[in-house]
Structure 1
């Protein structure tokens, strides 16, 4: 299907129309007497879902146009490895596969842990995961060859000051240095196909593997990068400690927590959250919340009576909340969730949180356990790390609330 700028314009027009309907319905809801509120609340929620779908569709179309404009990739250097691996998947032929994976520069592969997928297939799986996992889209993602990746950080700064041209230079203080490193976990998937499917020359086995694994991995990764406790899995950014202290006062391994004085979201909460983030981090900053929290945010108005959420109606312009884009992550808790986790985050996630993929996705072929199906037990190592706690701020509420937003 051919996609052009006009397609994006049409979606933007539809988005504008739905937003006008949303504003009208929500204004009526605010003015309605008690017995009318239930029906209007349902209409507002339906329109909220349509706004989300149209906003996402516009972003997808813009991304697809950008992909079309990019030059085609060159021929893969590991085509021989890929052909042999395809033969292994379809027929179980292992001859020469070990030597070929070594030649194609695969690293970090356990000799007894299956065969490394070819680099091209490895890249396709990671690209598919990026499309499915919001945290991969918003955070910095690195591919590494070893789990021993570490970073040295300055936790306390050094003494500094001003001196005259001929003044004696005093000694500077010793910097307080610390080491941070990713929390790793191994994720597995086990898609199955029949031998009949594998014997069919028209069956695209690589596409099947990529689609099945990305679906199996995506939800588990989203949960881990958002909420994961670090036990046999990556540690999510909401699992790190938090404090109400400012950047200069708190432990830099903790995130700053802005506590709202009420149980419901208010416009002032978003303003306070935005300006708790220092100016150098606000370039590229985004909100992160789930759809129910976004519904609450879309209902908010500023002091002049304008809605704080505005749809992006121009090509390349995202929808904005108080001037900033929103990353919709359904693993973020609801407002009023009793877990105590923050339902809304704001920050520069590229600077604040790192995700790591270790080279060497491995696969074992199992034609015996579930005949006539052939299983492909696949594992990959993935890690995450809070890189800069000053770059992400959290918003929580002082009381839990069961009230609908």
Structure 2
């Protein structure tokens, strides 16, 4: 009588288990060797709020140490692509954009267009597109052809060139990403805020106050010419019913553009406007009653822009209009940064440009 230790089927399962365990161990050892050699990166779930690989590489590799490997180069000069900087990661660019919108008042209310080059063009129809009425089954004769006007925003290169010592960059506690983003955004906001209001259009944006102006109404003025309304007194508002001119200013704007229109003035002018009252003693200016809600004047939002001129004889101290429809800001998609550790040793300069 024979004693059976294992049948054929059980032996096959044991052999498979032994082979499977050995194969898994072998694959695990190979994977560990590749990770240690840097062939592949260890895959771990990303934690909430952790910077992207591109941002960490840009900050720790390029900004702190000048390591240029794996970065996207952007041309800063028209002569050759070799004269270039590096596009900042989306995290840094987003901080710059948010700060610019918060600090630069005109950017927040204008039509900002992202472009890929400095040759942006916009076609505007003057007089609208002709149309006509016909019966349901009547012939459709050709309507008139609209007249197009090409608008070419003046372009120029805005730059910032903040510096930090190499000792600061080597300090791990120094948040170079936040420092650089805030420095660039603050300088850009100050410069572009002035240019959007009174820039001369030569290697910089054309400010709306630098555009031609006339007292004639719509349909008479050429396109690009702004309408002006005087207060009736030199360097001041009229002594009686001073707010009447504000009403005239609002009603001079065509009805389709009043929705979304805003007042723009500096704090000194706003201080004078806030004292205007109605016949029953109510203030025309209504301060904001909730966070994030703008103050209003005659039912329209008020934007403070310190680059607007004070009240004076012949000054254009108050602007009113729909800036989304009337003022275009064309800018490049990303900010570029060129690291310069040689010009001013021991400081490292970061030459940043967003083309406007």
Secondary structure at the counterpart of residue 346 of structure 1? strand
Contact persistence 1:81–1:118 (CA under 8 A): yes
- CA offsets 1:211-251 (integer angstroms, 9 cap, x no match): 11122222111000110011111111111112222222221
Corresponding residue of 1:363: 337
- Give the TM-score of the pair, scaled to structure 1: 0.68
Secondary structure at the counterpart of residue 280 of structure 2? coil
User: Which of 225, 234, 247 is equivalent to 1:271?
Assistant: 247
Query: Structure 1: where are the runs of 5+ without partners?
Result: 1-71, 383-405
User: Which of 283, 288, 296 is equivalent to 2:259?
Assistant: 283
| Greater radius of gyration (CA) | 2
Contact persistence 2:215–2:227 (CA under 8 A): yes
Residue 327 (structure 2) pairs with residue 353 (structure 1):
yes
- CA offsets 1:63-85 (integer angstroms, 9 cap, x no match): xxxxxxxxx99877x63365145
Q: What is the alpha-carbon distance in structure 2 between the residues aligned to residue 374 and residue 135 of structure 1? A: 32
Contact persistence 1:238–1:341 (CA under 8 A): no
Q: How many aligned residue pairs are there?
A: 302
Corresponding residue of 1:401: none
Contact persistence 2:75–2:82 (CA under 8 A): no
Farther off after superposition, 359-368 or 311-320: 311-320
Corresponding residue of 2:63: 89
Q: What is the alpha-carbon distance in structure 2 between the residues aligned to residue 135 and residue 260 of structure 1? A: 24
Secondary structure at the counterpart of residue 228 of structure 2? strand
Corresponding residue of 2:31: none
Secondary structure at the counterpart of residue 342 of structure 1? coil
Aligned residue runs from structure 1 range 84-163, under 5 A: 84-94=58-68, 96-97=69-70, 100-101=71-72, 110-163=81-134
Corresponding residue of 1:172: 143
- Give the TM-score of the pair, scaled to structure 2: 0.77
Which of the two has greater helix per residue?
A: 1
Q: 1:89 to 1:165 in 2, by over 3 A?
A: closer
| Aligned alpha-carbon RMSD (Å) | 2.6
Q: 1:196 to 1:274 in 2, by over 3 A?
A: same
Secondary structure at the counterpart of residue 272 of structure 2? helix
Q: What is the alpha-carbon distance in structure 1 between the residues aligned to residue 129 and residue 293 of structure 2? A: 41
Q: What is the alpha-carbon distance in structure 1 between the residues aligned to residue 228 and residue 48 of structure 2? A: 44
